[in-house]
A and B are shown apart, each in its own frame.
Chain A
Amino acid sequence: MKARVHVMLKNGVLDPQGEAVRHALGSLGFDGVEGVRQGKVIELDLADGTTEETVRDMCEKLLANTVIESYTVELA
């Protein structure tokens, strides 16, 4: 089984990389890009039967820094 974890900076934490991407899009002529937030996608190959709870535990302990990041877990 696979799991996909999305890690994003929490709302309210300024994302300087996202801001730089937004500026770059503007200079390429893409108007109207009002905000860009950049995050990470982490794909995990897991033993069958691994629970969402275990994946969330991985997020809490390593994959995300919950001081500044939030995460979502998709199991497939």
Chain B
Amino acid sequence: MKAAILVFPGSNCDRDLKIAFEKAGAQVSMVWHKDDALPEGTDIVGVPGGFSYGDYLRCGAIAANSPITRSLKAHVERGGYALGICNGFQILTETRILPGALLRNANLKYICRTVPLTVRTADSDFTRSWEVGQQLQIPIAHHDGNYQADAELRAQLEGEDRIAFTYDENPNGSAGDIAGVLSANRRVLGMMPHPERAADEAQGNTDGRAMFDGLLSALVSA
């Protein structure tokens, strides 16, 4: 599996994401935002957390118009995989690759702690290693994680089984407790919690590792 991780000015989870992919056995390249092409044969693009472009205008808005993001869109349109975590999720909604939007947390506070999540679908290569209803402990670290989806969008996401994770104790005001959503073809996942910060014994938590292992076994056999 070949993974490409986008690096924007202000990304700060890019190296953790690289290590998580590498530990699962992927070959990883880091791709600077000014590059206009992904490496040949990229299977999955990782859009990491951080504060791309200082969160100016709106979180993810400037990154969504970066040169490399055009290649990301083309990759996704071809049916390529992408994983956006935290600021990466914000970027995926700003590009409209994923629906909805992320607003300031309802309590206006930056929240940095490990929270319980429930896996809502196992029908994706990101979540295939888990069972529906399984609880995970995954860290969150964000100021703008309040997922906005109107009733119509929520019904659609529920109807199409595209809600990947929900918060057990909603920390940020997200509609329907939604913590992560899948694209219609189930090959793009955006989520606010950080599985790459729970993927190694040294991090004191390995609840997130199964995502990377699951992706690897899916994309190697594909």
Contact = CB atoms under 8 A, between A and B. Distances in A.
Interface residues of B, number: 20
B104 A67 contact: no
B106 A16 contact: yes
B25 interface: no
B107 A16 contact: yes
Given A16-B105, A16-B146, A62 B57 contact: yes
Chain B interface, DSSP helix/strand/loop, else mixed = loop
B104 A68 contact: no
A65 B106 contact: no
Contact of A62 (B65, B100, B101, B108): B65
Interface in A53-69: 61-63, 65, 67-68
A14 interface: yes
B176 to A, nearest CB: 14
A62 B150 CA distance: 22
A61 B108 CA distance: 27
A68 B65 contact: no
A20 B103 contact: no
A44 to B, nearest CB: 13
Given A61-B65, A62-B57, A65-B94, A16 B104 contact: yes
B31 interface: no
- Scoring B58, B106, B108, B173 by chain A CB atoms within 10 A of each residue's CB, the highest score goes to B58
Interchain residue pairs A-B with the least CB separation, the first 10: A67-B101, A68-B101, A16-B106, A16-B104, A16-B108, A68-B148, A20-B108, A65-B101, A65-B58, A17-B104
25 contacts: A9-B103, A12-B150, A13-B148, A14-B106, A14-B173, A16-B103, A16-B104, A16-B105, A16-B108, A16-B146, A16-B173, A20-B108, A61-B65, A62-B57, A62-B61, A62-B65, A63-B57, A65-B58, A65-B94, A67-B99, A67-B100, A67-B101, A67-B148, A68-B101, A68-B103
